Amino acid sequence: MSSFPASVRIVEVGARDGLQNQSSDVSTLHKVALIERLCDAGIKHVEAGAFVSPKWVPMMADSAEVMALIKRRDDVIYSTLTPNVKGMEAAIQANANEIAVFISATESFSQKNTNCSIAEALVRAEPVVALAKENGIRVRGYISCVLGCPWEGDDIDPSRIADLTALLLDMGCFEISLGDTIGRGTPGKVTRLINEISKQADVSQLAAHFHNTYGQALANIYAALASGVSVIDSSVAGLGGCPYAKGATGNVATEDVLYMLEGLGIETGINLDKLVDVACFVRDTLQLHIDSNASKALLNRR
């Protein structure tokens, strides 16, 4: 237990990764209310939107309005996804504190998600990172499909992820979020992946971004924590899915992560009870399903 971090930084991705896949409409004002409620519960890092093509992801088309309407707190980082310079310019306009570039570990997912090869996505990211640096905005890098791909299967070579991590760090990303995009990983694979990446990067520069399709996300996070990772991406009420993988579920629920971390004595600064209230807002106002065992159990006890 001694190798576990004393505290963990939660990156709440429900308003972006969670909402980008919803087929039912969520209004701009409801997105703003969701983000503000998350911050009221103690979330300090929130992915608030994505400056991507509205033809590709219609649900994120109002990200500029969302960013403009949020009542900002000085102690919260509001980040957005930016796949290209057009997106980066929008992020600057929107006063994003942080942006994220994203690439994939597999060529098939790269084509489906960003209409380009992995090499082209890296070339595209370079001017985005440069522009972010010029504007004093820090850059996160995402790698998708690190533990499985809808088209290329589950055996993704960890050394390929390690090489991509090193490339993104060299480019200027401060942190690399490892995406188990369709939730196919298991803890042993997580441990092997992080060991491999550790040969080229410091584990303090890694974040775990695990989806929960096979119910493995918490176990995978436990493995990541044991390997020294201390940044976890999660989504309130377990919102989300993947448009390219039938049946793939959302990110691990933030409430489930908090319940486990509290049990391990790991600090997050987030109030679990208030976060369950946000899950109720997701259910009652956004009319979306709560996919969190901790939320359901805690609601039963109220």
Give the footprint of Mg ion on this chain (CB under 5 A). 17
- Contacts of ligand HMG in 191-220 (CB under 6 A): 209
The nearest distance, CB 16 to ligand HMG, in angstroms, is 8
Residue 57 is a binding residue for ligand HMG (CB under 6 A)? yes
How far is residue 124's CA from residue 122's CA, in Å, rounded to a whole number? 5
- The conformation of residue 16, written as its DSSP 8-state character, comes to I
How far is residue 36's CA from residue 260's CA, in Å, rounded to a whole number? 24
Q: Which of 248, 203, 254 is nearest to 224 (CA)?
A: 203
CB 190 within 8 A of CB 224: yes
Residue 149 is a binding residue for ligand HMG (CB under 6 A)? no
The nearest distance, CB 89 to ligand HMG, in angstroms, is 8
**Of the listed 39, 145, 173, 242, which one is catalytic?**
242
C-alpha neighbours within 13 Å on the C-beta side of residue 282: 30
Residue in 22, 42, 56, 205 binding ligand HMG, rule: CB under 6 A: 56
The nearest distance, CB 126 to ligand HMG, in angstroms, is 14
Q: Which of 240, 235, 236 is nearest to 280 (CA)?
A: 236
How far is residue 245's CA from residue 180's CA, in Å, rounded to a whole number? 12
Pick between residue 179 and residue 238 the one whose CB is nearest to ligand HMG: 179
145 among known catalytic residues: no
Residue in 10, 122, 142, 276 binding ligand HMG, rule: CB under 6 A: 142
CB 22 within 8 A of CB 55: no
Residue in 14, 87, 141, 183 binding ligand HMG, rule: CB under 6 A: 87
**Could you give the C-alpha distances from 214 to 53, 180, 220, 231, 261, in angstroms and in order?**
30, 11, 11, 22, 20
Residue with tokens 């009542």: 71
Range in contact with ligand HMG (rule: CB under 6 A) among 24-32, 55-63, 128-136, 189-197 = 55-63
Range in contact with ligand HMG (rule: CB under 6 A) among 81-89, 167-175, 261-269, 287-295 = 81-89
Chain contacts with ligand HMG (rule: CB under 6 A): 17, 20, 50-57, 81, 83-84, 86-87, 102, 113-115, 142, 144, 179, 181, 209
By annotation, the residues acting in catalysis are: 242
